[in-house]
Structures are given as structure tokens and as C-alpha cells.
Chain A
Amino acid sequence: MEFEAIIGVEVHAQILTKSKMFCRCSADVAHAAPNTHTCPICLGMPGTLPVINQAAVEATVLTGMALNCTIPSFSKFDRKNYHYPDLPKGYQVSQYDYPLTKDGYLDVQVNGETRRLRIRRVHLEEDTARLVHEGDTSLIDFNRSSLPLMEIVSEADMRSAEDTYAYLVKLRQILRYLGVSTGNMEEGAMRCEANISVRPVGMEEYGTKVEVKNLNSFRSVRLAIAYEIERQIGVLEEGGEIQQVTMGWDEAGLRTVFQRSKEFAEDYRYFPEPDLPPLEIDQALRESIAARLPELPDAKRERCVMVYGIRSEDARLLCEDRATAGFFERAVEAASERVSAQTVANWIVGEVFRLLGESGQGIDQIKMQPEDLAALLDMLAGGTINATVAKEVLEEMFTSGQAPDVIVERRGLRQINDQEALSAAVRTALDDNPGPVAQYLAGKEQVLGFLIGQVMRATRGQANVQIVTELLRAELEKRR
């Protein structure tokens, strides 16, 4: 029997704001000592009055817009009641029946095919405190308590681990483009839970749903979902039944493990948050948020191909994040007519990406300016320097941030195009290497490469390779 998987995911993303969701404590808690970012509101003291952070509301609406959601004019907060020490109030402020945004979708590419994955809602809530389990006791740090959190709930449109992976990668890319979240899964700024069920192909009814938690990286999402699908199919094929449970991903064992049964349906007893007046996202607010919507990755990629005529694979790489795309566009704008956009793309995707990889920096952290890359490529196109030297100069630009002409002048790296000077170097190289010369003359033309190398070394890499090659051939003919 053939089975198909039905997958939906809930993603929680920490919103990048200066202050917390309902109080003015600093939200910059990533590396803070425990309980240094708290106040009576985020500690859940009785008698305190929360006030909504407008920036968090706007970031959520902006995200909804980027995910093709509708923005209802009315929205409100609700209390989700449950008892847990990371939630001292006994409830989490969240949104139940009137989320800020709903009914969107995300188009993703899976195996060369476009899949439209629907999004049920994007709503706003507060994060819980952080628990540290230490032997026979648990410790609580309230720094994270009440950080603004966006919950992005998909419909169950995904059918494979690849679908889900593509969805999450694209979602993170958009969150980063919007600047609303770092989307860093390893640091917990983006968290994912998946609901997975399987059913025989052709069956209408859904199978029993299993929730998988503890997915702390993109890699574990892909592995955990693939594993869980196989596990469920295995159970059904052996005539078993799927239990409605919560599973956790065991990173070390590479398997999903039972966490708790869902025998008792969760009973959150949502009710309207009396301390927070509802929100009305009117036309004016909607428009002011929409005006901040940047060009999104798909549109940017298409435009790069259309306007600059670069290869679509390069456009994809360059538009991976907004900073890289911005660097590319600034370099292209600054480049002279003899430097094509494709050349700029090649150098960024090749050399610049290599240097970024080696240094572990992001493109927005380096000293080199895109205008200087354009100037370097112009010097290369004009023959002032050759390609080998250009790479060398680029490395120095990358670390020092100096302009290419400054580096070339200081280090005397101008290309030698002078026929006479090069002829002398060519003759010396041939005189010094009688063996290879004899080989060449005997028909072994590959040694030409060796001889070119000799001349380049003698000129400290600055010779014009084309001229050297021509001169070498001519000089060798003379010696035949």
C-alpha cells in the first residue's frame, strides 16, 4: 500500500524590537546575565498593566503582508491559560479568534516545481521565561519572559520533509529580508513544531496526528520529519495504530522519541485579555506599514535576471539575503561600461563568497565597498592589472578596505604590457630552460604553460599573459 504524509508546521519567531512586548524592559537579552532584564510586568506581578509595543504589531502585520495574508481591520489579544513555571501569570497573552493577519501563502520551489503552501495565520504573542534544568531542580530566568513572538501557522499542505524544509528556509529568508527576526534556529530565535500524519493514498480522511517538537535546526527538521513519516508508515503496515502523542527529536539518536500522550485535549480556556484594548488596523496604518515592505527575494531575483541579464543561478545566490543583493546592485551601478553585470556577479559569487567563507564574516560586516570592487574590475577590464593580480588586490581590499588603485600603486602591481620589456623576460626564460625548449620544439606543446609560468614569475605575476604567450610562441619559432 502507498502512503502519503500530511504535514503542517507552527513557527515561533522572536521579533527584533528594542523593548519587550508589554513593558519597556530591553529585549536585548541574548547574552545577558540571568534576571537582569525584568520588571513587575514581565515578572507577572499582580496589579500591573501591560501596554502593547507598536513596533511588534507593525512587524507582525508587515510579515503577514509579505506572506500574502489579509489584514483584518479588527484584532485583539486573549489569555491562554495554563500552569507552568515559565509563565508566572498562569496565562500567556496570545491571540485566539482575531489574529492580526490570516489566510496567506508562500510559494516554494521543491525539486524544480513550484508549490503553493497556504498559511492559516500569523499572530502576535509573548514569549515565556527560560527554564534551566539542573539535576533535581529547575531554574528560571525571566529575561526572555514577554519578548514579542510571532506565531506563523501553516495549513497542512506539506507532503514531505523536502516541502517542509523548503517552506522553512523560504520563511526564514523573508523574515530576514523584512528585518523582523534573525530567524536563527540554533539560538532559539526561530522555533518549529510539526504536525505529521500519514494516510493511504486516495483516502479522504486524515490519519492520527503526531506533534514533533525540539526541532532546533533546519537539518533536524528535515531528518525528524522524514523519520517520523517512515515510523508511522511502519506502524500502519504492521497493522498497528498511531497514537495521538507528542514526540521529541533526539538529535544524538537521530530518531523521534515519545514525550507525552495527548490523551487529555488541551484546555486553554481562552478569553479576551481585559487589560489590552483591541486593535484596529485602519487604512492609514495599513498603508504606512505596506510602504515599508521591501522588494522580496523572488521579485528581486527575477529583476536581477531581467534588468542586469545575469544567469538565474547567480541571481539566486546573490538574492539569498538582502545585504548581498544590495552589495551586488551597488557594485553594478558603480561599474564602468566595460564591466558587465555578469562579471560583477562572477566575482562576488566566486572570490568574494570564498573570502567571506574563510573569514566567517557577513557581507555587511566587511570593510570593502562595492564601489571599490567595481573600480577593481574596471582596472582589470582596461588591462591595468591582470586577473591573478586582481584576485590578490581583492584579498587586500577585503581585509583593509583600501581602494584598489591605492593598493596597485603602492605595491607596484600594474600589468606590464611593454613589448620590449617582456621580450627580454621571454628570452631569459628560454635561455634558462633549454630542456623544456627542446621538448617544445620536439612537438610537446604543453610545456608552453611551464614557460609562461617562468616569465610570470620573473615579472612577479604582472606580465600581460596574452602578450607573453604571443612573444613566447614567436621566440620559440625563431629557435626551431
Chain B
Amino acid sequence: MKLDREQVLHIAELAKLSLTEEETELFSEQLSEVLAYFEQLQELDTDDIPPTAQAIYQRNVMRPDTTAPCLTPDEALANAPQRKGDYFQVKPILD
């Protein structure tokens, strides 16, 4: 199965990537190869095998509900591209 141009652009949009014309063409081919590989895997009969989310068998890794000290606002904001007072500042969002 070959991914068409529209599908590649949709995936790029979801990933917030802007692709050039050449890249679109290139990734269309590469992604198609990846898909072809998975199609091969799908030939296996897995009807009786439960889906596995993780390779390491671990269950119920939980912590008790206790608190620990937080960062100071200055520490939290240290990597902020822009700050205003003690807030992170971003471009306006319409909602």
C-alpha cells in the first residue's frame, strides 16, 4: 500500500511539520516502505494473543499520595521563551 500525497501532508500537519515538495515525495515513499513492513507482520495470526502495551511485565507501579516541594516560579520559568510576571507567555490562542 502506497501512501498518497494527501495522507503524508495530513500526518505532517498532525506532527506540526511543514514539508517541502521534495520531502513530501521522499517521505511518501519511505513511509510506504515502513507500512509494507508492518503489513508483513500483520500476516501473523494473533487472534488468541492479548494486545501487549509494554515489553516488561510490570503491574500496579503506584506511589502513595504524598507531596514534595515544588520548583520556585523562577526555576519553573527558567526555560520559558517569554514570560510575563510569573506566567509563561505565548502567542494569543483563540478559543
Q: In the complex, which residues of chain A have a beta carbon less than 8 angstroms from the beta carbon of B68? A: 19, 24-25, 39
A380 to chain B minimum Cβ distance, whole angstroms, is: 46
Tell me how many residues of A have a C-beta within 8 Å of chain B. Answer: 51
Cβ-defined contact, A141 with B87, below 8 A: yes
- Assembly CA distance A19 to B66 (angstroms): 6
A130 to chain B minimum Cβ distance, whole angstroms, is: 10
Q: In the complex, which residues of chain B have a beta carbon less than 8 angstroms from the beta carbon of A173? A: none
A226 to chain B minimum Cβ distance, whole angstroms, is: 25
The residue from B71, B88, B92, B95 contacting A136, defined by CB atoms under 8 A apart = B92
B60 to chain A minimum Cβ distance, whole angstroms, is: 6
Q: In the complex, which residues of chain A have a beta carbon less than 8 angstroms from the beta carbon of B56? A: 277
- Assembly CA distance A431 to B85 (angstroms): 79
Cβ-defined contact, A139 with B84, below 8 A: yes
The residue from A35, A83, A135, A267 contacting B77, defined by CB atoms under 8 A apart = A35
A42 to chain B minimum Cβ distance, whole angstroms, is: 9
Given A19-B66, A35-B73, A139-B88: A269 touches B93 (CB 8 Å cut-off): no
Q: Interface extent on B, as a size class?
A: 20 to 34
Cβ-defined contact, B64 with A34, below 8 A: no
- Assembly CA distance A81 to B15 (angstroms): 9
A252-272 with Cβ < 8 A to chain B: 259, 267, 269, 272
- Assembly CA distance A18 to B64 (angstroms): 10
- Assembly CA distance A259 to B92 (angstroms): 16
Cβ-defined contact, B63 with A35, below 8 A: no
> A25-41, CB under 8 A of B: which get 1 and which 0?
11100000111111110
Q: In the complex, which residues of chain A have a beta carbon less than 8 angstroms from the beta carbon of B67? A: 18-19, 24-27
B35-81 with Cβ < 8 A to chain A: 53-54, 56, 58-68, 70-73, 76-77
Say yes or no for A362: interface residue by CB 8 A criterion. no
Given A52-B61, A277-B61: A81 touches B14 (CB 8 Å cut-off): yes
The residue from B54, B60, B77, B86 contacting A272, defined by CB atoms under 8 A apart = B54
Interface Cβ pair total, 8 Å cutoff: 125
A184 to chain B minimum Cβ distance, whole angstroms, is: 21
Say yes or no for B1: interface residue by CB 8 A criterion. no
Cβ-defined contact, B84 with A277, below 8 A: no
- Assembly CA distance A25 to B92 (angstroms): 28
Majority secondary structure, A binding face: loop
Given A35-B76, A81-B14: A51 touches B63 (CB 8 Å cut-off): yes
Cβ-defined contact, B65 with A26, below 8 A: no
- Assembly CA distance A84 to B59 (angstroms): 31
Cβ-defined contact, B88 with A277, below 8 A: no
Say yes or no for A76: interface residue by CB 8 A criterion. yes
Which B residues lie at the A interface, using CB under 8 A?
10, 14, 16, 53-54, 56, 58-68, 70-73, 76-77, 84-93, 95
Could you list some 19 contacts between A and B, CB below 8 A? A18-B66, A19-B68, A24-B63, A34-B85, A35-B73, A36-B86, A53-B62, A54-B64, A57-B62, A133-B92, A133-B93, A138-B90, A138-B93, A139-B84, A272-B53, A274-B53, A277-B59, A278-B59, A280-B60
Which A residues lie at the B interface, using CB under 8 A?
17-19, 24-27, 33-40, 43, 51-57, 76, 81, 83-85, 131-142, 259, 267, 269, 272-274, 276-280
